[in-house]
Structure 1
Amino acid sequence: MSNFKDQALLVTGASGKFGRIAVEELLARGATKIIAGTRDTSKLADLAARGVEVRHLDFDDAASLPASFAGVDRVLVISTDGVGKRVAQQTAAIAAAKAAGVKHIVYTSAPAARPNADAGLGIEHYWTEVALAESGLDFTSLRNHMYAENNLIDVGHVIGSGQLFGLIGDRGTAFVTRADAARTAAGALLTSEGKSIEDVSGPAAVTNAERAALYAKVSGKPVAVVAVTPPELKAGMVAAGLPEFYAQALVAFQIDAVFGFHGVATDAVERLSGRKPETFAHFLEANRAALTA
């Protein structure tokens, strides 16, 4: 396996949770020319003090991109939070990277990325992957499965009500922790060659029934699964205060879980990060306070 630790490695969105972990992993694995890109360089002063080059990088500012990518050999493009404009942002970054002579792009995508109208947020990831393929550059598209941390958003409500609402026919989600996914991305930046797409997952798919049982075990309170249809699930989310667009995206994700798209478990985390992925059960135990608050 090749090791590109002495090449110039750029991490975009480095001040975010994912980017921070990726930079820390590059440091831990001996990378010597790390560049951290961010819209607000003041947030990365501590990394600069540790020898990381910090650059202003804003995908919405096309004029600034040539300088941001100058001298970079390999780049980790972390998908932005600009839902609805990510394709424009990320294709601009890919074009700038190619123009600057970047040799390899690692991109954080999503499972079953496709152009279908029912794909939710996966549509933007699909068209970014198309731009990667059309660039002619080598690339690694990391299709990160649902982050385990996302469960902490509503777990208090679920346990408090004793009800976990999910779609009929759920076939499970191979939840992966953000840390495992970020370390995998750093590993891909350090070692990947050629053109590839990787599903980045936890060690096993977890169904809604299994998730409810784990919630109950950790919290000590009963949690039952309430199976609903997609329209019922969306209506419930909207009634709970979620914007309709966001609710629809979440429902699309759960529909994909029914299809089995999110139940794929791979060895990508261990192969690229050198660590076995954290199990969902262990993650919940480590976050017991959130479940019992």
Structure 2
Amino acid sequence: MRAPWKVCDIVSDDRCASSLSPPALLRASADASHLVYCVIAVLCPRNIHKFPILENMKILITGAAGRTSGYVIKDLLERKGVPASELRLLVRSDEAIEKVRVRFPQLGHSSFVIGDYLEASTLPHAFKDIDIVFYNGPTFTPLETAMGIAAIQAARNAGVKHYVFCSVHHPFLTKLLNHKAKLE
């Protein structure tokens, strides 16, 4: 049986809002009866250092070539002292790998994985032997919800212990399309 995820507070800047309900994105994951929700909305990337257990854990950063994930990588390497060898970076192309390597030359020994949320066959390798996933999916795409569900399912199938979902501030403001997709 897969290890259940722990229930965590939602972190927003320096405030905790544990009274917020998990987003529907997690509720929609298949066979949720075996899943205890773990939701940490890192609305400010500097809060990743508050995640208490990073020692000896393999961390997958999705969208690693993006701005927000870049802040997370920087914080993990510099403030938390996470060895580059403990990071696995999910990107969409060889060009994205080069972009990340230019910014973080110390990642030469890190495991880069090219994958696509809409190609299920590319995800198992990315999530294999991972303890923590930092998921920062694409925005402003009509397939954002499906991509998020695919990532959650891949994490669940791989037995990931912790899932950090990077969301938006006030996802309940559904008139903003990217907020609605995060909530769904």
The interval holding the TM-score normalised by the smaller chain is 0.5 to 0.7
C-alpha deviation, 1:34, in angstroms: 0.7
Does residue 30 in structure 1 map to residue 81 in structure 2? yes
1:49, 1:104 → 2: CA distance?
23
| Other structure's SS at 1:102 match | coil
Whether contact under 8 Å (2:138, 2:144) holds in the other structure is yes
Task: Give structure 2 stretches of 5+ with no counterpart.
Answer: 1-49
CA distance 1:5–1:82, change in 2 (3 Å) = farther
Q: What amino acid does structure 2 have at the position aligned with 1:43?
A: A
Q: What is the correspondence of 1:5-154 to structure 2 with a 5 Å cutoff?
A: 5-28=55-78, 29-32=80-83, 33-45=86-98, 46=101, 47=104, 49-114=107-172, 116=174, 118-127=175-184
| Other structure's SS at 2:166 match | strand
C-alpha deviation, 1:114, in angstroms: 2.9
C-alpha deviation, 1:80, in angstroms: 0.8
Q: Percent identity?
A: 23
Whether contact under 8 Å (1:23, 1:36) holds in the other structure is no
Q: Which has the larger radius of gyration?
A: 1
Q: What is the correspondence of 1:90-239 to structure 2 with a 5 Å cutoff?
A: 90-114=148-172, 116=174, 118-127=175-184
C-alpha deviation, 1:51, in angstroms: 2.6
| Other structure's SS at 2:108 match | coil
Whether contact under 8 Å (1:115, 1:126) holds in the other structure is no
2:140, 2:123 → 1: CA distance?
17
Q: What amino acid does structure 2 have at the position aligned with 1:16?
A: G
Whether contact under 8 Å (2:137, 2:147) holds in the other structure is no
**What is the TM-score when the length of structure 2 is the normalising length?**
0.61
C-alpha deviation, 1:57, in angstroms: 2.2
1:119, 1:16 → 2: CA distance?
21
Task: Give structure 1 stretches of 5+ with no counterpart.
Answer: 128-293
Whether contact under 8 Å (2:90, 2:114) holds in the other structure is yes
C-alpha deviation, 1:115, in angstroms: 8.0
Please identify which structure carries the higher helix content.
Answer: 1
- Higher RCO (C-alpha 8 Å, min separation 6): 2
Q: Provide the aligned length of Structure 1 versus Structure 2.
A: 126
**What is the TM-score when the length of structure 1 is the normalising length?**
0.40
Q: What amino acid does structure 1 have at the position aligned with 2:181?
A: E
C-alpha deviation, 1:123, in angstroms: 1.1
For residues 73-100 of structure 1, the C-alpha deviation after alignment (integer angstroms, 9 at most, x for no partner) is: 1010002135211000111110111100
CA distance 1:43–1:110, change in 2 (3 Å) = closer
| Other structure's SS at 2:122 match | helix
For residues 219-272 of structure 1, the C-alpha deviation after alignment (integer angstroms, 9 at most, x for no partner) is: xxxxxxxxxxxxxxxxxxxxxxxxxxxxxxxxxxxxxxxxxxxxxxxxxxxxxx
CA distance 1:71–1:20, change in 2 (3 Å) = same
Taking only aligned residues, the RMSD between alpha carbons, in angstroms, comes to 2.1
Q: What amino acid does structure 2 have at the position aligned with 1:58?
A: D
